[in-house]
Each structure stands twice: as C-alpha cells, then as structure tokens.
C-alpha cells in the first residue's frame, strides 16, 4: 500500500477492479472478483450451413430446368463442394466455396450478405452499356437538369420532358416526388424516361410509376414459381398487371431509354412500358436478370438469397439471361457519332419531334454513328 494512503476495504477493492475492467464483479462471502464477459461468437457449423443453402435452392429455385441443371447435376455439385465447405477454416473461406458451387447458375440474384451489409455476388455479368457519363452530362448542359441525389433527376431537353431514374430502390425513390415531377411536365408534348443504368429495386415503385402512363389495365409480364419437390414443378403463369393510378394520366408520346445496365425491377418496368400504345422503348436489350430473391439468415451475421420466380415478358419469353428487347434498336457507337452529345437522347428528341410533327428524323440505322 502506498505511504499515506487510507486502508482499502474489500468493497473498495471490488469497486476499483470493476472500474478497471469495466465488466461485472462478483461478491462471494466478502471475496470479490472481476469477471470479464467477452461477446461470444458461436463457432460456425459449416456442414449445417452448407446443407441449409443447398436444400433451400433444391426446394425453391425455379430455374434449374431453364438453365439445364438437372437434379443429378445439383446432387453432384453437393457431393463435390460439401467436403470442401465443411473443411473451411473461416466463414469467408466457406462462402468462397459455396459461391463456386452456385456459379453455374449464373444468377445475378444469388448472393451473400456479410455482417457489415456488403453484398457478395456469386455471378457478375458483363456487357457493353449504352451510357457514357461525360456525354450524358454534355447532353443535359442546356436541359435545366435538376438532380435529386444520385437516384433520379428531371429537366427539359429539345422542348420535351426528361426524367432520369437510376434506381427503383424503395429507400431512395419517392413515388410522391415522381408524381410531383409528372405534374410539372403534364403539359409537355412528349417525355423521355432514361433508365439505362437502373439496376432494379422495388417492383412496386417501378409499376407505380408505369401506372401513371396508362388509361386502362395492361398485362405487362408473367411469373412462375416452384410448386413441388421436383425441379421442374412450376406453377401456372401468374399475370402481372398495371392499372391507371392517380387522378390523371400522361398519355402523350413517351420514349424509354433502355440498355444492358438495366436489371431486375427495371426490366419489369421496361417490359411494362413496352406494351403501352403511347410508349416506345429504344436503345438496347436489358441486362437479363429477374428473380424476386428471398433473403435468409445463415448465422454469425451472414445471410444469403434464393431467387423465387421466373419472369416472362409480355411476349412470354424469359427475362432471365434474355432481357427485354427494345422496340427500336439504337446501336451504341458514340466514338463515331457526329456530335459530342448522347446518341440515345438525341435520337429520342428526334423521334418525339417527328411524332409531334415538328420535324422528321432519320431511322436509327441511318443516323451517323
């Protein structure tokens, strides 16, 4: 004990130790102790995790037959990858092994989510996107464009309304704000909706917006889901419909800019707009990935997804791997384009001008690319 200090009672010792370790302390017959309680992390049971993932896909995944993965193939993948997965030393190593097992499905909607919320994809497609940001910015320089964050923006170009929608994420897109934008452009003679870079989000948000352009119900796509134990057990087609929403509808000409950068809910949107008599989709085919994934907890902060449907466009062709084709294909070769603007925006302005009798525009295959 330091010279000159007061004697320390048992209680004083307890309190001091409790302060030092910032944990719990225990009284037992006047004897004190400090117990450090560290957060426990359950050792992962890789065998159980692997079986959970494999079985969930075996039970729910609807596209085995479409992707020519037979039941025997799926069983063989289990036999091949389960021993490696069970022998994993860390969760990251385990995820890496299971990713390898799922890669043959080539499914954009099959992914993992780590404890920090970071998405770990099992498949990343590549295709040339018909979008160049620098050209896009130049095209909108005189458009009075107003950006609403990175999610969407609005303006006027060539005398027509222009709305860019970069996501249908429910946490980033406000349907009421989009409705307000439509109201501002209600009297414009035409509208351009640019969704070339929209990777998806909420089907509800996408269909809510599409519903402002119709004056009667339209069947816009179909989905099928598993309804049995066998991989080919698919239920009947379920039509997806949009109906008029709001007190008025925008029924003047609409040009939708689409391309390979569009996926998922955005492909449902493009499919919906493609059936409307006042809308024309131009550009390129969409990315080809529609799955309506379900997120399932895996343990230790990890989760995984399982796609639950096959969606078919209005022509009853699968969207997965095929995408939604434009009504008017516009080749993307901006390096050969005569001006420094955006080829698709310029084409859309020309088409709307022709539809409104303002001027004629050369067909896309005659435009100087």
Q: Rounded to 5 degrees, what are φ and ψ at 315?
A: -90, 5
Residue 1 in domain: no
> Of the candidates 308, 318, 270, 287, which has an alpha carbon nearest to the alpha carbon of residue 123?
287
Q: Verify that 16 and 63 share a domain, yes or no.
A: no
Q: Are residues 187 and 307 in the same domain?
A: yes
How many independent structural domains does the chain possess?
Answer: 3
Mean pLDDT of 332-349: 88
Residue 208 lies in a domain: yes
177 in the same domain as 254: yes
What's the pLDDT band for 222 if we cut at 50, 70, 90?
very high
What percent of the chain shows pLDDT beyond 90? Answer: 77
Residues 307 and 338 in one domain: yes
Cα separation, 135 vs 227, in Å, equals: 48
Answer yes or no: is pLDDT of 266 > 60. yes
CATH of the domain at 163: 3.90.226.10
> Given a cut of 80, is residue 253 above it in pLDDT?
yes
User: Which one has a higher pLDDT value, 205 or 28?
Assistant: 205
Q: What is the pLDDT of residues 14-41, one digit of tens each?
A: 334 434 333 333 333 333 333 444 444 5
Q: Is residue 244 part of a domain?
A: yes
For residue 11, pLDDT beyond 70: no
pLDDT at 357 over 90: no
Same-domain status, 91 and 167: no
> What pLDDT does residue 41 have?
53
Q: Kindly state whether residues 29 and 52 are assigned to the same domain.
A: no
| Confidence band, pLDDT 50/70/90 cuts, at residue 12 | very low
Q: Give the residue-averaged pLDDT of 256-270.
A: 97
User: Same structural domain for residues 102 and 195?
Assistant: no
Note whether 32 and 50 are same-domain residues.
no
Q: Taking residues 225-241, what's their average pLDDT?
A: 97
Domain range for 101 is: 46-121
Q: Examine residue 126 and state whether it is found in any structural domain, yes or no.
A: no
Tell me, yes or no, whether 2 lies in a domain: no
Instruction: Give domain status of residue 31, yes or no.
Output: yes
89 burial level (CB within 10 Å; 0-12, 13-18, 19+): exposed
Q: What is the mean pLDDT of the chain?
A: 87
Q: Are residues 309 and 282 in the same domain?
A: yes
- Confidence at residue 335, expressed as pLDDT on a 0 to 100 scale: 82
Q: For 67-112, how does the pLDDT look when each residue is reduced to its tens digit (9 = 90+)? A: 999 999 999 999 999 999 999 999 999 999 999 999 999 999 999 9
Q: Is residue 72 part of a domain?
A: yes
* Residue whose tokens read 């995820």: 95
Q: 336 falls in which pLDDT band (50, 70, 90)?
A: confident
Q: What is the pLDDT of residue 7?
A: 37
Calpha distance 338→346 (Å, rounded): 11
User: Is residue 218 predicted with pLDDT exceeding 50?
Assistant: yes
Is the domain of 315 the same as that of 282? yes
d(CA 47, CA 127): 36
Residue 363 is predicted with a pLDDT of: 46
Calculate mean pLDDT across residues 126-144.
Answer: 92
CA dihedral 351, 356, 357, 361 (to 10 degrees): -10
Domain assignment of residue 345, yes or no: yes
Alpha helices by DSSP H, listed for the chain, are: 10-21, 46-60, 71-86, 91-102, 133-139, 175-184, 203-210, 265-274, 343-355
Last residue of a domain, one of 121, 153, 176: 121
**DSSP β-ladder status, 146-148 and 191-194:** unpaired
Tokens describing residue 62: 């609807």
| Separation between Cα atoms, residue 200 and residue 140, nearest integer Å | 23
- What mean pLDDT comes out for the span 221-231? 97
What is the predicted pLDDT for the residue at 358? Answer: 58
Q: What is the pLDDT of residues 280-320, one digit of tens each?
A: 999 999 999 999 999 999 988 999 999 999 999 999 999 99
Residues 6+ apart with CB under 8 A from 70: 64, 231
Is the domain of 212 the same as that of 93?
no
Residues 61 and 21 reside in one and the same domain: no
């Amino acid at each position: 004990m330091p010279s000159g200090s007061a004697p320390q009672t048992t209680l004083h010792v307890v309190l001091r130790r409790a302060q030092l370790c910032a944990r719990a302390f225990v009284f037992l017959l006047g004897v004190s102790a400090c117990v450090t309680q560290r957060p426990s992390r359950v050792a992962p049971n890789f065998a159980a995790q692997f079986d959970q993932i494999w079985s969930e896909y075996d039970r729910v995944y609807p596209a085995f037959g479409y992707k020519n993965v037979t039941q025997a193939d799926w069983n063989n993948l289990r036999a091949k990858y389960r021993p490696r997965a069970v022998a994993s030393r860390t969760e990251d190593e385990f995820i890496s092994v299971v990713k390898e097992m799922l890669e043959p499905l080539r499914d954009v909607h099959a992914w993992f989510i780590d404890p920090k919320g970071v998405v770990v994809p099992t498949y990343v497609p590549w295709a040339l996107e018909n979008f160049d940001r620098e050209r896009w910015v130049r095209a909108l320089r005189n458009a009075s464009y107003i950006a609403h964050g990175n999610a969407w923006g609005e303006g006027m170009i060539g005398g027509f309304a222009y709305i860019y929608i970069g996501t249908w994420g429910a946490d980033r897109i406000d349907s009421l704000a989009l409705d307000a934008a439509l109201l501002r452009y209600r009297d414009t003679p035409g509208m351009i909706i640019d969704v070339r870079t929209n990777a998806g989000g909420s089907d509800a948000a996408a269909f809510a917006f599409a519903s402002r352009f119709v004056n009667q119900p339209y069947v816009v796509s179909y989905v099928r889901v598993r309804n049995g134990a066998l991989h080919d057990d698919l239920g009947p087609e379920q039509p997806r419909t949009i109906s008029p929403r709001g007190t008025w509808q925008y029924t003047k000409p609409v040009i939708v800019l689409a391309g390979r950068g569009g996926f998922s809910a955005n492909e449902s949107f493009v499919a919906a707009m493609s059936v409307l008599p006042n809308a024309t989709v131009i550009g390129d085919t969409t990315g080809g990935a529609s799955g309506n994934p379900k997120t399932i907890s895996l343990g230790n902060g990890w989760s995984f997804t399982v796609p639950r449907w096959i969606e078919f466009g209005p022509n009853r062709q699968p969207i997965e791997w095929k995408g939604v084709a434009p009504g008017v294909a516009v080749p993307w070769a901006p390096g050969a384009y005569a001006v420094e603007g955006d080829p698709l925006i310029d084409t859309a302005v020309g088409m709307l001008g022709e539809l409104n009798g303002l001027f004629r525009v050369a067909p896309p295959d005659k435009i100087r690319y």
